[in-house]
Amino acid sequence: FMRREVDLPFYDPNPLRVLPIYNREALKFLYHVERFGENGEKLKALIDKLDFAGGNREVANVILDSILGTKSGGVYDKFARFLRNIQVIEKMSLSAIPNLFQGVSGISLLLDPRIAFQSRRMVKKNYKEVLDWATRVGQNPELATLFTEDVGDIARKFLGAVQFTKTEVNNYILSATAGKIGALNYFEKLKKNPNDKFARRKLEQLDVDPERALKHGFLTETDLVMASNRAWRESQGIPDVLRSPHRWLGIPLSDPIGKLIFQFKSVAFNQTRLIWENAIKDVRYGRVSGLLTLLILFPILGELVQDMKAILQWKHRPRGWILRYLDNFQGMFGFGLISDLYYQSKYGISGGPT
């Protein structure tokens, strides 16, 4: 079989072609993360040292962008970025409304509603402390936003004006706090009962090795940082290089067209996976709080979201209780990819009517 010279976003039924490409890219990514950091942080730190020593920072940045595939600077990249900016402005005018509740709903589903609200209280009570922790996790909270990366100034200012950026930053701080609390909580349960399969599963979901942690008798700061970062990514639908659908199509996420195609689809995909893993599969471990969160908390929050959007859009809402429930559920993206496909077919846009 000859490998494809160009990776196109179409279905390829032959695993003999797809799997080798996936494995190669996955191994390459893991090596780069270990050597250079997930987003090239170690290389960027070297550039800072080079600049301090009197080197040419501008040339070094061009080389780094070329290595990481973060910026091509050509017409191809500029056109793709222009289209991404249009998508942001077209689709996200009211996205700050559901985003107000995304932190609580995502953490409630991933970990537990009690952990979500405990984290929210901690953020209100000790904001400076949790802000410091969120920064130590590895992201500047002001930059930890999904749609403000690699877009133009107009789109960035638009997201700031509609308060999306502010809600995204707050969700990052909340989820980073919840990741730490959740890891400590489930580790205590595992210490009391080493056979607790559910606690073990949750720690593994937070990128914590249960066996190593039990052997040491405590969670290291690295464990807590990893847990916070994973809680943020999982609960907020942040694209993950090894857990994103773009790998199935052979399109690098750093590619300008890859960014355009998956600018919103990755969120729908990750929301679907979050629901499946924590509302459906958790039932097998005797935990139904995830399913109850999905069926009860999501529609309650969705009622607020859809009411606010209806007022701003001067639209009537469904009156029958079944249609109302489904509309509320839809408002919090409770159907994942199905929600995305519904909005796509009904309104001609991805991510919902805004």
Number of H helices, E strands in the chain: 18, 0
Q: Whole-angstrom Cα distance, residue 198 to residue 93?
A: 39
> What is the distance, to the nearest Å, from the Cα of residue 140 to the centroid of all Cα atoms in its chain?
15
Q: Give the pLDDT confidence score for residue 211 in this predicted structure.
A: 93
Name which of 125, 233, 224 is nearest 184 in CA terms.
224
Per residue in 131-151, pLDDT tens?
888 888 765 555 545 444 556
pLDDT at 74 exceeding the cut of 70: no
SS3 content of the chain, % helix, strand, coil (to 5): 70, 0, 30
Name which of 210, 146, 202 is nearest 172 in CA terms.
146
Q: Count CB-CB contacts under 10 A for residue 227.
A: 29
Alpha-carbon dihedral sign for residues 132, 134, 138, 142? negative
Burial 79-94, CB ≥16 within 10 A → b, else e:
ebbeebbebbbebbbb
Q: Give the pLDDT confidence score for residue 183 in this predicted structure.
A: 96
Which residue is it, tokens 């929210």? Answer: 120
69, two tokens: 């595939």
Tell me which range, 64-68, 226-230, 326-330, is most confidently predicted by mean pLDDT.
Answer: 226-230
183, two tokens: 């890891």
pLDDT at 353 exceeding the cut of 50: no
Name which of 271, 63, 231, 25 is nearest 139 in CA terms.
231
* Out of 7-11, 95-99, 305-309, least confident range: 7-11
Q: Decide if 220 contacts 208 (C-beta within 8 A).
A: no
- Average pLDDT in the chain: 76
Name which of 230, 231, 232, 68 is nearest 150 in CA terms.
68
Mean pLDDT computed over 95-106:
86
Per residue in 318-344, pLDDT tens?
888 888 988 888 877 756 555 555 555
Amino acid identity, position 244: S
Per residue in 261-272, pLDDT tens?
666 666 777 788
Name which of 149, 147, 143 is nearest 95 in CA terms.
147
Based on the number of CB atoms within 10 Å of its own CB, is 1 exposed (0-12), middle (13-18) or buried (19 or more)?
exposed
> What is the distance, to the nearest Å, from the Cα of residue 127 to the centroid of all Cα atoms in its chain?
22
Based on the number of CB atoms within 10 Å of its own CB, is 198 exposed (0-12), middle (13-18) or buried (19 or more)?
middle
Q: Decide if 147 contacts 172 (C-beta within 8 A).
A: no
Tell me which range, 46-50, 60-64, 275-279, is most confidently predicted by mean pLDDT.
Answer: 275-279
Name which of 41, 218, 219, 227 is nearest 134 in CA terms.
227
Q: Please, where are the H alpha helices in 193-288?
A: 197-205, 210-216, 221-236, 246-249, 256-275
pLDDT at 114 exceeding the cut of 90: yes
Q: Whole-angstrom Cα distance, residue 40 to residue 59?
A: 16
Residue 163's region, left for phi above 0, alpha for psi from -120 to 50, else beta, is left
Q: Give the pLDDT confidence score for residue 121 in this predicted structure.
A: 94
pLDDT at 54 exceeding the cut of 50: yes
Listed in sequence order, the residues at least 6 apart from 241 whose beta carbon sits closer than 8 Å to its beta carbon are 29, 38, 247, 253
pLDDT at 22 exceeding the cut of 90: no
pLDDT at 4 exceeding the cut of 50: no
Per residue in 240-254, pLDDT tens?
544 555 444 444 455
Q: Give the pLDDT confidence score for residue 185 in this predicted structure.
A: 95
